[in-house]
Amino acid sequence: MSLKKELTYGFSPLEEALKSGKVEKIWVRSDRLSRVRELIDKLESNRPIPLVAVPKEFFPEKEWVGFLPSEVNYLGWEELPEIGDTVVIVDGVTDSTNLGAIFRASVALSAPHIILDLHNTGSITPKVVEISRGAALKANVWRLNIKQAILRLKENGFSVIGLEAHEGTKLYHFDLTGRIALVIGSEDKGIRSTVKTLCDGLGNIPTDFESLNVHVALGIALYEAKRQREFKSGRSMD
C-alpha cells in the first residue's frame, strides 16, 4: 500500500487526533506549514512530532495536510465491565464511510463506547478516522465476538436493543434511560438473525421513506436516549 493511502487527511481530523495524542507524523503543504505548527504548539507542545513540508502535488485534490495516526489499541474483555451506560455494537458494517460516520455520531452523542464484531465488521483505518473527523481516535473501541459480548453486557445489567428498519417496536416506546446497548447491522443485510435472538427487543424509527442510512438511524437512537435521560433527570438539554 502506498503512503498516500495510509494517511488520514484533513485539518479537523488532525486537530482531534492531536487532542487524543494519537499522531505519529504529519505531512503538510509548504504554504500551510505555519498553521500546522501553531496547532502542534497549542495541543502537543511537549511531544515532538515529525513534520514534513511537501509540494501540493503530494496530496489528493483539495487536501493540504495528512497525518499518520498512531496504531489503535483495542480494549479487551477485562475492560468490558467498566464500560459506560450506553454502548454501540456494530454487526457487519464494513464500509469505511459508514463506519466513520458511526464513530462520529457515537462520540458526538455521548456514546464513545463501541464494540466491533471481531469477524465480520471493519476496523479503524485511516479512511475511517478521516470520515469520522478524528472521532474514531477519541472512542473506546473493542473488537470482540459480539455474541459473547452481548451476554457479558446483559450479565452487567444492560438492555440490548437491535435497530431494525421494519421490525419490532417504535424506538420511542423503549425506556432508554438505563444501561443500554444498541446493536446496528449492515446496510444490506441488517443484524444477523443469530444476534437478533440475543437482543431484548428490536426497535425501529418510523419514516416516510423506505429506510435510513445506518449511521443516521444510530444518531437518532442515541439522541432519543440522551433526550429521555435528560427528561428523567429534570435537566434541560439547552
On the 0-12 / 13-18 / 19+ scale of CB atoms within 10 A, 51 is: middle
Tell which of 69, 102, 123 closes a domain: 69
Q: Please name the residue that has the C-alpha cell 477519541.
A: 138
Q: What's the average model confidence in pLDDT over 129-136?
A: 91
Alpha-carbon distance values, 183 to 32, 149, 200 (Å): 42, 11, 11
Mean pLDDT, rounded, of the chain:
90
> Same domain for 165 and 121?
yes
**pLDDT of 155-188, one tens digit each?**
999 999 999 988 889 999 999 999 999 999 988 8
| Distance, CA of 195 to CA of 185 (rounded, Å) | 10
Helices vs strands, H then E, count in the chain: 8, 11
| Distance, CA of 45 to CA of 2 (rounded, Å) | 30
* pLDDT value of residue 4: 57
**pLDDT of 69-103, one tens digit each?**
887 889 999 998 888 899 999 999 999 999 999 99
| 14 closest CA partner among 2, 3, 31, 32 | 32
Q: Is the pLDDT of residue 140 over 70?
A: yes
**Residue 38 · residue 65 · CB < 8 Å:** no
**pLDDT of 118-128, one tens digit each?**
999 999 988 89
Q: What's the average model confidence in pLDDT over 23-32?
A: 92
**Residue 214 · residue 186 · CB < 8 Å:** yes
| Distance, CA of 167 to CA of 185 (rounded, Å) | 13
What is the three-class DSSP state of 72?
Answer: coil
> Same domain for 102 and 202?
yes
Domains of the chain: total: 2
> Same domain for 129 and 218?
yes
> Same domain for 125 and 183?
yes
Cell of residue 138, nine digits: 477519541
The boundaries of the domain holding residue 57 are: 3-69
* pLDDT value of residue 1: 40
Q: Is the pLDDT of residue 3 over 60?
A: no
CATH number of the domain encompassing residue 64: 3.30.1330.30
Q: Residue 101 gets which letter from DSSP? A: H
Residue 238 in domain: no
Q: Is the pLDDT of residue 2 over 60?
A: no
CATH number of the domain encompassing residue 164: 3.40.1280.10
* pLDDT value of residue 238: 59
